[in-house]
Amino acid sequence: MTAMATALKARPAPAFPVERIRADFPILKLEIGGKPLVYLDNAASSQMPQPVIDRMVRYQTTQHANVNRGVHYLSETATSAFDAARGKVQHFINAREDREVIFTSGTTDAINLVTYAYGRKFIGSGDEIILTTLEHHSNIVPWQMLAEEKGAKIRVVPINDAGELLVDEYEKLFNAHTRFVGVMHVSNALGTINPVKRMIAFAHAHGVPVLVDGAQAVPHIKVDVQDLDCDFYAFSGHKLCGPTGIGVLYGKAALLERMPPFKGGGDMIRSVTFEKTTYNTIPHKFEAGTPPIAAAIGLGAAVDYLSAIGMDAIAAHEFDLLEYATEQMNRIRGVRIIGTAAKKAAVLSFAIDGVHPHDVGTLLNCEGIAVRTGHHCAQPVMQRFHVPATSRASFAFYNSMAEVDALIAGIRTVQKVFT
């Protein structure tokens, strides 16, 4: 090793520039009831930085027209911005080709696309679909609707008391009837990071395709769909510092090509007569009607913004926040963290003895602190832990250690009010 290389290796990693990053987010300057906003509801929806807002305003004020079907300046400009956004998303998740990126309205829409288009063609009576106890309702209910219609069966992977999937039990669920696996990458209710790469490899060894619900992974860790080798991967723009109304379904081209369309209408066709309609190529086959153009361009700007900071730096900062918050919360008597997996993203679900989560949320709001309370669209997880609901603090890269302190002080205030 040269002297320079040794010196570089010894140099400490630069501190995460959280204050500079916070300055990019206008909403973080808000006060709620005279107290500075402490926004810890990022798993539900994250906030949007100024460059993303600016990009959408620029589109709306200087580039807006419908895409794909005009020869005039604005239509061509809008089309190239829309296409560029698809390319940005492709590189962000390392998809092999941009036609493997389908714009949807969100994770829910993306999963419904798969259950409808893939499921109705390839899953039939007596077939089995494997899901996990951790799933968000959006990766349960569409499969249940399919199973009910087709006479298929859903098998569920159990979790342990820490909120970790029992992978041995998962492997035991496979049999000759297994046709599909749906698994979330990161749990929105508990923060557990699931061993999806290993689960995908096992499913593939049995010839079974896998959909990964990545709604809570893509904003927090580097996701590489080729490395995971997943067949489908779904996520939402609004959890990724982008706008609402946009999401992504990644699908392997070979599978997408074998699937019938999900919705019918303009843009998804090659030719239409009353006798016969032929369909467009992917991704257009799955994007019927005018797409959410501004939202897609906003999502493209959001992935640019996150990439400039670096997903590894984001993950490291959020891990520090989680570690600090966990340590501080464990020191408070009468507070129990629900979800203590060895591998976790920055989500802290907790219960305070003798206080209903709804009251926790309401009192924290009086301190300017936004957390989510409820079942987090994961009722099977609540049932597993025998609670009706939890309070959940979920962090983003723009959260600071001072905000963790504010949360801890807020919890102590809640306890005081209730004693």
Ligand X SMILES: Cc1ncc(COP(=O)(O)O)c(C=O)c1O
- Measured from the CB of residue 126, what is the shortest distance to ligand X in angstroms? 28
Q: Which of 236, 326, 340, 415 binds ligand X (CB under 6 A)?
A: 236
**Which string of x and - marks every residue 84-123 that binds ligand X (by CB under 6 A)?**
----------------------xxx---------------
- Measured from the CB of residue 330, what is the shortest distance to ligand X in angstroms? 25
- Measured from the CB of residue 391, what is the shortest distance to ligand X in angstroms? 16
Segment contacting ligand X (CB under 6 A): 33-41, 148-156, 208-216, 325-333? 208-216
Cα–Cα distance measured from residue 187 to residue 381, given in angstroms and rounded to the nearest whole number: 10
Q: With binding defined as CB under 6 A, does residue 215 bind ligand X?
A: yes
- Measured from the CB of residue 188, what is the shortest distance to ligand X in angstroms? 3
Segment contacting ligand X (CB under 6 A): 65-73, 170-178, 211-219, 261-269? 211-219
Q: Which of 46, 90, 112, 138 binds ligand X (CB under 6 A)?
A: 138
In the structure encoding, which two tokens stand for residue 316, read together? 């490291």
Q: Hey, which residues between 171 and 190 contact ligand X (CB under 6 A)?
A: 184, 188
Query: How far is CA 319 from each of CA 161, 229, 367, 410, rounded to the nearest angstrom?
Result: 21, 25, 25, 21
Cα–Cα distance measured from residue 306 to residue 197, given in angstroms and rounded to the nearest whole number: 23
Q: Match 């809008």 to its residue by tokens.
A: 78
Nearest 5°: CA angle at 63, between 62 and 65? 130
Is residue 377 annotated as a catalytic residue, yes or no? yes
- Measured from the CB of residue 378, what is the shortest distance to ligand X in angstroms? 8
Q: With binding defined as CB under 6 A, does residue 132 bind ligand X?
A: no
Cα–Cα distance measured from residue 235 to residue 88, given in angstroms and rounded to the nearest whole number: 15
SS3 call for 99: helix
Task: Give buried/exposed letters for 273-285 (b at 16+ CB in 10 A, else e).
Answer: eeeeeebbebbbb
Cα–Cα distance measured from residue 112 to residue 96, given in angstroms and rounded to the nearest whole number: 23
Which parts of this chain interact with ligand X (CB under 6 A)?
A: 43-44, 106-108, 136, 138, 184, 188, 213, 215-216, 236, 377
Q: Indicate which residues carry an active-site annotation.
A: 377
